[in-house]
Each structure stands twice: as structure tokens, then as C-alpha cells.
């Protein structure tokens, strides 16, 4: 999957429309609580400025209604974007129309303009051609550095490519390279770790991974659906009874393909869903009524480590337990340490999904991973093997 990037085009003196994913979280005083998504585009933006481009940044925040709620205005991120990029960022109170057009026309090489929230216009999500054309009229070239929305066919990432040449920024290029190319030709042994609460969220990923991997580790809340489907007692543990057939079908498929499946052999259970609950460790077939499994047990953690020993490609999506509570973070920590060790020994490791990234951050091992994906739903769909419209719209190299 070879796509054109900003290195393949002449940016000098050009106005660049750059779709970024700055959908950052805020506290109640509108202070940004995590600026990872802004930091992630720094390399792309700085490169474009150095090449003599005038950069027009376009993004969305939250899910605004037609009322244009102030809390979703991009004006709240201007200061932080300015600090990260080292340039006083200008701001336009709309993304199309006279004010946006004037601000874009006045923009000089080396300057940055941030447009108002794209989703204040319902035409953005509808991929309306007239709206896409208005966005395109602001610039000479389109750059897509918003992997996080690449599973959506919207005007600013897909529609605009009908009117301007669209190329990838460095962040997008990295996602395509790590996820796309790694899945196309992985070094073996290839181990996937799929966790999180629900099978329904990840069944497509599990199915696609079984087609590609040598070993799949299934942990977190979703493991209880696999256990219950096989007749094991799970007490009050989270479970999706309507997914029993699918869970059993995936286990059968893995067996037919010779893929090793690692499910928990013991569990840390609690008598209440809280940080102060009473806990005990039991074998997977000994969960009593009234108790719920909230983490892997020590024997399971050993199995995770064993499965990852010698791995050459690792994909991890979803935590192994309720890592937000320290008492139930051991399984996730064991995986994080084993993935970090595998990476140190030459494996390519990819971690994706908000919870996995938060869990990794908690372990302090983020810098020991080859690639941390910036997408949520986009990462999942990429791992499922789906074609993402935002990537498809980028010009082929």
C-alpha cells in the first residue's frame, strides 16, 4: 500500500489544507487534559512550514449539534497548538464562507491558520460535494494527517480529494506503514493480544487476526464470553450471551488453522466492582456465584509472557482487566512488560485503542513500543482488514 506523502510534492509557496485529528479531551474549565493528538502532528506541520507552505489546519472536536455549542469550538485549542508548533496560530471563526476565505487568502508562507470545527456543518459528515469544494477552494493541495477519522468518508478527508491532490502527512504515513505493511507481510512468530470488555466490539479483529497470526491471546472482559460459551462458571463476570456461537466459531476456526489461542487459566476475582473490593485468585473453572473476574491471575500472566517470548510481530488492542484499579492491573502490566521485552529483542510492536494506550501510559512503557496508533475505530477497522476511505482517497505513489 504505497501512498504519496508530503515529501512527494512541492510545497514551496503553496497553501496546504491539512486535515488533523485534534479531538482532544478537556476538563470542566476547558483546559486540554491530553495533547497527544496535537503533538503527534508536529513533525508534519513543522516540515510543511520549513518547506515554505502556508498551513491551514482543519479538525473537529466532539459531536456538536446544529446549535454550535461553544465547548466544541476550536478556539479553545489555538493556544496549545501555537505552543506545540512554536508559531502564533491564527484562527478563523468558520471553516467555509467569507471569513474563512479571507483568512486563508491572507495567510503567508510559514504561517498557520486553524479553522473552526468542521462538524459545525452537517455537510462535513455527509461528504457533501459542494462543501468539499468550498474547503478545497481555500488551498492548493490537501494533506491528510488524521488517521483517527480515516474510517469515515467525510468531506475534509475524502470529498476534498475530488478537487485537490491529496497526500499523506507523516503521522498517516506511519500508520499505513506500521499497520498496513506489518499485517501484509508480518515477521513470524506473529502474536495478537485482544482484550477489552466486549466480544462484539472486537469479533471482526479476532477473525481477521486468526487468518494471520500464529498465536492469539484473548483477555479482559471478553474472555468470560469465550469461557461461558464453553460451559465454564463465570459468576457475575461481564458476558455477552448472544455472542456464544461467534466465540465458539472463532475457537473452531483457530483450531482448524493451527493458531494457538491463549485464554485465562486463572483469574483475580472480586465480590464487588470497586478498588476496595475483597479479592481472591481462583482457577478459571472455579468462579463462585456472586463474584466477578476483574483481572488475569498469576498463572495466566505467566502464559501471556510465555506466548510473547520470541515473538517477532505483536499487535495489542485492549487491556487484560480493569487496569484503572491498581488491584486489577497485573494482567495488563504483564502484557505491557512482555511486549516491551519482545520489542527490545527485535519484534515490531503495534499498540492501538484508547484503553490500551492509557494502560500502556500507566505502565510507563510507551517509549518501548514500535508504534502506538492514534486511531480508535480507525485502528480497529484497519486491524479487521477493511479498506479505510480516508486512506483510499490519498493519491497512490
- For residue 38, say whether it is annotated as part of any ligand binding site: no
pLDDT at 108: 98
pLDDT at 66: 72
Count of CB atoms within 10 A of residue 239's CB? Answer: 23
Q: Is 125 a residue of the active site? A: no
Kindly report the length of the chain.
397
Catalytic pick among 110, 204, 377, 385: 377
- For residue 353, say whether it is annotated as part of any ligand binding site: yes
- Which set of grid coordinates corresponds to residue 101? 476565505
Residues forming beta bridges with residue 15, ordered by sequence position: 54
Domains of the chain, first to last: 6-172 (3.40.50.1260), 186-383 (3.40.50.1260)
Instruction: Give the residue among 383, 23, 342, 19 at the shortest CA–CA distance from 178.
Output: 383
Four-CA torsion 389, 392, 393, 396, nearest 10 degrees: 170
Residues forming beta bridges with residue 372, ordered by sequence position: 351
Q: What angle do CA 92, 93, 96 make, to 5 degrees?
A: 80
Q: Greatest CA separation found in the chain?
A: 70
- Which set of grid coordinates corresponds to residue 196? 477489552
**Cα–chain center distance at 148:** 6
- For residue 354, say whether it is annotated as part of any ligand binding site: yes
Catalytic pick among 42, 198, 253, 286: 198
Give, for all 397 residues of the chain, the pLDDT tens digit: 789 999 999 999 999 999 999 999 999 999 999 898 999 999 999 999 999 999 999 999 999 987 789 999 999 999 999 999 999 999 999 999 999 999 999 999 999 999 999 999 999 999 999 999 999 999 999 999 999 999 999 999 999 999 999 999 999 999 999 898 888 899 999 999 999 999 998 999 999 999 999 999 999 999 999 999 999 999 999 999 999 999 999 999 999 999 999 999 999 999 999 999 999 999 999 999 999 999 999 999 999 999 999 999 999 999 999 999 999 999 999 999 999 999 999 999 999 877 888 888 888 889 999 999 988 888 888 888 889 999 999 999 9
Residues forming beta bridges with residue 266, ordered by sequence position: 283
Name the residue with cell 466477578.
292
pLDDT at 148: 92
- For residue 47, say whether it is annotated as part of any ligand binding site: no
Q: Is 198 a residue of the active site? A: yes
- For residue 188, say whether it is annotated as part of any ligand binding site: no
**Considering the entire predicted model, what is its pTM?**
0.88
Contacts of 256 (CB under 8 A, 6+ apart): none
Beta carbons of 234 and 228 less than 8 angstroms apart: yes
Catalytic pick among 37, 174, 212, 243: 37
Contacts of 160 (CB under 8 A, 6+ apart): 17, 19, 132, 135, 136, 142, 166
Radius of gyration for the alpha carbons in the chain, expressed in angstroms and rounded: 23
Q: What is the DSSP letter of 26?
A: B
Q: Is 324 left (phi over 0), alpha (psi -120 to 50) or beta?
A: alpha
Count of CB atoms within 10 A of residue 73's CB? Answer: 19
Amino acid at each position: 500500500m504505497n501512498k504519496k506523502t508530503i515529501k512527494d510534492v512541492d510545497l514551496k509557496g503553496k497553501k496546504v489544507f491539512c486535515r488533523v485529528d485534534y479531538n482532544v479531551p478537556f476538563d470542566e474549565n476547558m483546559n486540554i487534559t491530553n495533547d497527544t493528538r496535537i503533538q503527534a502532528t508536529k513533525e508534519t506541520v513543522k516540515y510543511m512550514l520549513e518547506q515554505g507552505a502556508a498551513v491551514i489546519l482543519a479538525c473537529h472536536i466532539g459531536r456538536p449539534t446544529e446549535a454550535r455549542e461553544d465547548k466544541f469550538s476550536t478556539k479553545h485549542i489555538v493556544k496549545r497548538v501555537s505552543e506545540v508548533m512554536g508559531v502564533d496560530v491564527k484562527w478563523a471563526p468558520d471553516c467555509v464562507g467569507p471569513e474563512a476565505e479571507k483568512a486563508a487568502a491572507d495567510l503567508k508562507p510559514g504561517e498557520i491558520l486553524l479553522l473552526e470545527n468542521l462538524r459545525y456543518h452537517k455537510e462535513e459528515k455527509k461528504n457533501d460535494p459542494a462543501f468539499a469544494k468550498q474547503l478545497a477552494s481555500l488551498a492548493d493541495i490537501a494533506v491528510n494527517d488524521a488517521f483517527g477519522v480515516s474510517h469515515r468518508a467525510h468531506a475534509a478527508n475524502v470529498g476534498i480529494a475530488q478537487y485537490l491532490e491529496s497526500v499523506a502527512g507523516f503521522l498517516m504515513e506511519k500508520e499505513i506503514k506500521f499497520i498496513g505493511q506489518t499485517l501484509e507481510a508480518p515477521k513470524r512468530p506473529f502474536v495478537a493480544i485482544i482484550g477489552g470488555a466486549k466480544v462484539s466490539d472486537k469479533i471482526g479483529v479476532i477473525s481477521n487476526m486468526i487468518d494471520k497470526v500464529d498465536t492469539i491471546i484473548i483477555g479482559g472482559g471478553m474472555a468470560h464470553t469465550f469461557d461461558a460459551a464453553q460451559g465454564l462458571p463465570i459468576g457475575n463476570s461481564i458476558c455477552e450471551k448472544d455472542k456464544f456461537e461467534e466465540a465458539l466459531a472463532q475457537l473452531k476456526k483457530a483450531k482448524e488453522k493451527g493458531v494457538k489461542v491463549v485464554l485465562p487459566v486463572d483469574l483475580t476475582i472480586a465480590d464487588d466492582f470497586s478498588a476496595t473490593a475483597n479479592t481472591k485468585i481462583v482457577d478459571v473453572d472455579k468462579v463462585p456465584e456472586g463474584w466477578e473476574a476483574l483481572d488475569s491471575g498469576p498463572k495466566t500472566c505467566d502464559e501471556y509472557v510465555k506466548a510473547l517470548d520470541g515473538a517477532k510481530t505483536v499487535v495489542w488492542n485492549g487491556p487484560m482487566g480493569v487496569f484503572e484499579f491498581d488491584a486489577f492491573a497485573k494482567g495488563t502490566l504483564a502484557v505491557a512488560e512482555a511486549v516491551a521485552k519482545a520489542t527490545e529483542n527485535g519484534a515490531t510492536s503495534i499498540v492501538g485503542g484508547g484503553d490500551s494506550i492509557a494502560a500502556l501510559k500507566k505502565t510507563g512503557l510507551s517509549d518501548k513500543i514500535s508504534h502506538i496508533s492514534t486511531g480508535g475505530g480507525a485502528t480497529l477497522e484497519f486491524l479487521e482488514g477493511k479498506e479505510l476511505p480516508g486512506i483510499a482517497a490519498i493519491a497512490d505513489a
